[in-house]
Amino acid sequence: MNDAVSPTDIVVWGGFALAFIFGAVANKANYCTMGAISDVVNMGHWGRMRMWLLTIGVAVVGANLLYVGGLIDLSKSVYQRPTLPWLSLLVGGSLFGVGMTLAAGCVNKNLIRLGAGSLRSLVVLAFMAIAAYMTLKGLFAQWRASWLDPVALDLSAAGLKDQSLPSLLAQASGLPAGSAILAVALPLGAALLLFVFSDSRFRGNRVQVLGSFTLGLLVVAAWYLSGHIGHGENPDTLETVYFATNTRTIESMSFVAPTAYTLELLMLWTDKSLHISFGIATALGVVAGSFAYALASRSFRWEGFASLSDLRNQLVGAVLMGFGGVTAMGCTVGQGMSGLSTLAIGSFIAVAGIVAGAAATMKYMIWREG
């Protein structure tokens, strides 16, 4: 490889480019998972929920076709580890769902709003990043490691090499691994697409359809970038590694921990052991892409908090998102798109917690105001 362009540079700049497109497209399409759940709970409207499901369907099919084709190894991702910390995933997901509702948007939505001029989102992201970092390495990490993570299932004791649904099917049926992956991914993807496009209004909304499809492809492209292009031999140690990822393995889009690592890098800039990673680059890329679209569409607007109660709710939500997102190993993008695309059992648990936590909070808020 050309010495002027290292694998690390390719992964970092490639991640920034993919996230730049992600931020611009999500801004234009008004993509918001919290808003999608709110539309269903409060109005029975499934338009934005279909966007999320379309993104998941594209990501599931695309990522697993790459896996079966030998281009990436999803079993190396953090989502497919054979230990299933079901309590952490459920509690963390539920708290994240509560938090994103109080904060009026998930981490991805706040990154998009920040790019469009929301100073409110800057404050939310700062508090979220602090809470996330405390859950990774600080006080909250002690609670997580002592009370939640030990409650787990060791699936390797049952003969499973990972926690994916295809592995479960392969063991139960005797199917080869590749066939089991296709037997789960293709029907699931097809079912999602059939449901999504069963609505004529959604089919006629080109912005939502193309936007959701593009975001799903970006999740797949991110897997390929970190898991294929960024997978190779370290010239210093001669070990086979995944370059520039915080988890030191294959990664795709996820924004809770990367936002915390971004804050760490800014605070400890002179620490030479810290570098811009794939995750940091994607978090910054979403903001930059949203900013570019906001300028191009003349929708950039400075925005602050509406009231003291708004500030209070959003800060509480930010802390819950930080703790919940790290505990659940991802957010509405990290688990809701990237995690689900690996077909990991834990990702389904985390996403169920996110949806349940958000829906319950919305119902409570409606009841309190009624």
Segment holding 242, helix H or strand E: strand 240-242
Q: Residue 118 forms beta bridges with which residues? A: 303
Nearest to 40 by CA among 335, 355, 364: 355
Over its C-alpha atoms, the chain yields an Rg (Å, rounded) of 20
Q: Residue 232 forms beta bridges with which residues? A: 241
Rounded to whole angstroms, the Cα distance separating 313 from 99 reads 9
Summary mean pLDDT of the chain:
97
Residue 158: predicted pLDDT: 93
Rounded to whole angstroms, the Cα distance separating 22 from 139 reads 33
- Reported pTM: 0.97
- 102-152 residue pLDDT tens: 999 999 999 999 999 999 999 999 999 999 999 999 999 999 999 999 999
Residue 1: predicted pLDDT: 43
Q: Which residue has the tokens 């993570």?
A: 149
What lies within 8 Å, CB to CB, of 251 at 6+ separation is: 77, 222, 226, 227, 242, 245, 278, 279, 338
End-to-end Cα spacing for the chain: 64
Rounded to whole angstroms, the Cα distance separating 70 from 50 reads 30
Rounded to whole angstroms, the Cα distance separating 192 from 190 reads 5
**C-alpha torsion angle, residues 283, 106, 122, 208 (rounded to 10):** 70
Nearest to 109 by CA among 270, 317, 272, 312: 317
Enumerate residue ranges in the chain where pLDDT < 70: 1-4
Question: Could you give the maximum distance between any two Cα atoms of the chain, in Å?
Answer: 64
Name the token pair of 329.
């190993």
Backbone phi, then psi, for 248, in 5-degree steps?
A: 65, 25
- 297-342 residue pLDDT tens: 999 999 999 999 999 999 999 999 999 999 999 999 999 999 999 9
Are 63 and 342 in contact, with CB atoms under 8 Å apart?
yes
CA 137 to chain centre: 20
Rounded to whole angstroms, the Cα distance separating 35 from 350 reads 18
Rounded to whole angstroms, the Cα distance separating 168 from 292 reads 44
CB neighbourhood size of 141 (10 A): 17
Name the token pair of 159.
């003969």
Backbone phi, then psi, for 303, in 5-degree steps?
A: -140, 140
Rounded to whole angstroms, the Cα distance separating 303 from 124 reads 13
Residue 236: predicted pLDDT: 82
